[in-house]
Structure 1
Amino acid sequence: MASLEKRSPLQLIAPYVRVFDGPLMLIVILIMTVGTITLYSAGIDFPGRIEDHLRNITLSLLVMWIAALVPPQLLMRFAVPLYVGGVVLLLAVAQFGLIRNGARRWIDIGVVIQPSEIMKIAMPMMLAWFFQKREESTRWREFVIAGVLLMVPVALIMRQPDLGTALLVLGAGFYVVFFAGLSWKVIAAGIVAVLASLPIAWSMLHDYQRGRVLTLIDPTTDPLGKGFHIIQSTIAIGSGGLTGKGWLNGTQAHLEFIPERTTDFIFAVYSEEFGLIGNVVLLILYLLLVGRGMVIAAQAPTLFTRLLAGALAMIFFTYAFVNMGMVSGILPVVGVPLPFFSYGGTAFVTLGLGVGILMSIQRHRKLMQS
């Protein structure tokens, strides 16, 4: 007891803080800080929005800390149950899910959840586990099985319909398959097959999804309807110029021309107020986030941890690329938030879990070396 009394408060909390990876934590905190500053401006007309955002950040950090404590070996044990449970819940959504705004994406199991969010983490964990178990004999058959494991939840999510989440889950799984050694010839053949099947895929899209693609090509065909989002967001980005209009001075946001300005289109608010220089800074932060994740992947001791870390790092890239491309008018509007930036509790928790897993991989690698 005497030895404990002599220790300073900093020494007492140090073991709990060391679970965080310093460089990764610094990058995430910087992105969260910039996002909070932008959200304060974007959500100034939404009472309680900034308080809710700070609560989401706190919850994300808590999830991050807990995940960082979990050994990668335990994550492997959870991979199959989490994937199977996620698929079962997606099947349950298809039969008994709640319908909101024309989409069946949620299910009430005592609490209302969106099972597709689970697959953003469960999918790369499952495929990383799959290739770890077949590390000594990875042949074309293993890639076919992996493709089936990937497409089952993707198809169920697209059926809801939720194209944005389906693309994120597809990307998360594809990164694992790619890092596992998928041949470039197969990738090229897949691209050709996708291009050839576009007419069929077009006929299978819902009307609103086809509308988004047509609006992307020419938003002026419906400037007050489907094209309104893209037109107003690109006006905001362009009006920011080099240095921006200044914090709290964005006219497009505060005159309510930018829809969903605290969530999917918050990047337009940021661009208007902080300009091209601010955008470059934010892009550098996201590149550092992805880069740090790839470094952790390269240093990971097992195939499971290398594949999982690499896929998680690229998920952050996908989130940022799709959101910025969507807001800039070069990609269709699919409802993907800007990571650690946009308002939203579910995305914050999912992304925090991903960062926590990266920290766990890095932390336990160091423990194995010491």
Structure 2
Amino acid sequence: MTASALTRPGERDRLTTKIAELDWRLIGLICVIAGVGAAMLYSIAGSSWSPWAINHLIRFGGLLVVMLGLAMVHPKWWFRAAYPMYGVLLILVLMIEFTPLGYEPAGAGAKNWLNLGFTRIQPAEFMKLGLVLALARWYHSHTAQEARWSWKLIFPVGMIGVPFILIAKQPDLGSAMILGLTGAVIMFLAGLSWRIIAAGIAAAIAIIPPFVMFGMHDYQRNRVLTFLNPEADPSGTGYNIIQSKIALGSGGLLGKGYGLGSQSQLEFLPERHTDFIFSTVSEEFGFLGSFTLIVCYVAVILIALRIASLAHSHFGRISAAGMTAFFALFVLINGAMVMGMAPVVGVPMPLLSYGGSSMMTVMIGFGLVLSTRVHRYAELPKGNSLF
């Protein structure tokens, strides 16, 4: 299908044309990763579809349909929804802090869910989507010089900073970290001056020690100190990281075999179906299996970035790249976490770990990326109007 065919009136809106323009490599890789997740959840449960594997597959099947449906949506609708979506999600985050509707699930350690009566949601997850769209909308309407350095940058900084502070205060450090880093990556991709980037990195390095000592809750501070020396408390705060390292190392080159991972099967490995599922992959399939899975993740990221680079509109480029950024950060932080290279902050491995909110966020994000691919020749108006 040529560019001219896609831009002829009537031709570009045909459903069959849009379906043909989907990137099926990306869709296939997403299905492969989710399928590996289902297989591992089946193994972890003792070769049983319940309680995790079947729910994982049902969720993925439903969200795959949603993702493909969103890919058919013209970017102008994402563009118009950007600011209103961000505003609604920010209100939901505020409601957790200032209304009795916010609550803390048992054992979660953070008040980060909202009970709306008819449903329960985790606004921090969806805030990542809202932030990406809002920042893409802002940068679309401003010049390259303003994106590089201008007093107007106070607006994107505020869009990142306000939800970051609110979510970190819940305290949900993992979601706040993903949110802040995603915003920083988007500002970098939009052309932020290297001097500002260097100053920001220096400021972050300087503020980390006092933040750890005085700005964190005790259990969060213990996680950081445990990351630095997990052997100091091997049966307490260091237990998770130590068991994860044992699972990673014991798999060797080819692994112990499917369903034969002692750390996961005997339940030595904590949160083996969510945060530490990658450790189970390494234990059962070894270095070769885990490396192959990482290659799949890298391929997804590269294909998505390629799609972002092909978009004609600045909004399409920034939004698709931003969605790819938070997916990549999920992979990077979880991978570092299970290997003991980062503190345990409750970040799942996307599409692999069990969990509905994370999977929904990722699949909606890829719906936008695919929409950018299908409508890559679309042009969007400049301007600062709300809708």
| TM-score normalised by the chain length of structure 1 | 0.92
Give ranges in structure 2 of 5+ residues lacking alignment: 1-14, 380-387
Contact 1:259–1:265, Cα closer than 8 Å, also in 2: yes
Tell me which amino acid in the other structure corresponds to 1:22. W
Deviation at 1:176, TM superposition (A): 1.5
Between stretches 140-149 and 79-88, larger displacement belongs to 140-149
CA distance in 1, matches of 2:172, 2:40: 27
Deviation at 1:20, TM superposition (A): 3.6
Q: Does 1:87 align with 2:87?
A: no
Between stretches 133-142 and 312-321, larger displacement belongs to 133-142
CA distance in 2, matches of 1:103, 1:32: 27
Aligned partner of 1:42 in structure 2 is: 44
Aligned partner of 1:124 in structure 2 is: 132
1:152 aligned residue (151, 158, 162): 162
Deviation at 1:89, TM superposition (A): 0.9
Aligned partner of 1:98 in structure 2 is: 103
Tell me which amino acid in the other structure corresponds to 1:243. L
Give ranges in structure 1 of 5+ residues lacking alignment: 1-12
1:180 aligned residue (176, 190, 193): 190
Q: Does 1:365 align with 2:372?
A: no
State the identity %.
Answer: 38
1:86–1:147: structure 2 CA closer, same or farther, 3 Å change rule? same
Deviation at 1:170, TM superposition (A): 1.1
Q: Deviations over 1:73-130 (max 9, x none)?
A: 1101110011111111111100121133442111122311111111110001001101
Deviation at 1:200, TM superposition (A): 2.5
Aligned partner of 1:134 in structure 2 is: 142
Aligned partner of 1:269 in structure 2 is: 280
Contact 1:268–1:327, Cα closer than 8 Å, also in 2: yes
Contact 1:63–1:349, Cα closer than 8 Å, also in 2: no
Deviation at 1:14, TM superposition (A): 5.9
Contact 1:59–1:349, Cα closer than 8 Å, also in 2: no
**How many residues matched?**
356
CA distance in 2, matches of 1:72, 1:66: 13
Tell me which amino acid in the other structure corresponds to 1:33. G
Taking only aligned residues, the RMSD between alpha carbons, in angstroms, comes to: 1.7
Tell me which amino acid in the other structure corresponds to 1:40. Y
Contact 1:83–1:126, Cα closer than 8 Å, also in 2: yes
Aligned partner of 1:253 in structure 2 is: 264
CA distance in 2, matches of 1:192, 1:171: 15
2:294 aligned residue (267, 279, 283): 283
CA distance in 2, matches of 1:280, 1:30: 14
Aligned partner of 1:353 in structure 2 is: 364
Contact 1:120–1:169, Cα closer than 8 Å, also in 2: yes
CA distance in 2, matches of 1:44, 1:182: 50
Between stretches 130-139 and 211-220, larger displacement belongs to 130-139
Between stretches 229-238 and 32-41, larger displacement belongs to 32-41
CA distance in 2, matches of 1:62, 1:349: 12
Aligned partner of 1:227 in structure 2 is: 238
Between stretches 57-66 and 124-133, larger displacement belongs to 57-66
Tell me which amino acid in the other structure corresponds to 1:157. I
1:140–1:49: structure 2 CA closer, same or farther, 3 Å change rule? same
Tell me which amino acid in the other structure corresponds to 2:241. I
Between stretches 238-247 and 129-138, larger displacement belongs to 129-138
1:23 aligned residue (22, 25, 28): 25
Deviation at 1:26, TM superposition (A): 1.4
Contact 2:186–2:318, Cα closer than 8 Å, also in 1: yes
SS in 2 for 1:107: strand
Deviation at 1:18, TM superposition (A): 3.7
Q: Deviations over 1:332-368 (max 9, x none)?
A: 0011111111111111111000111100000012688
CA distance in 2, matches of 1:346, 1:304: 25
Aligned partner of 1:325 in structure 2 is: 336
Contact 2:90–2:163, Cα closer than 8 Å, also in 1: yes
SS in 1 for 2:113: strand
SS in 2 for 1:262: coil
Bigger helix fraction: 1
Between stretches 30-39 and 99-108, larger displacement belongs to 99-108
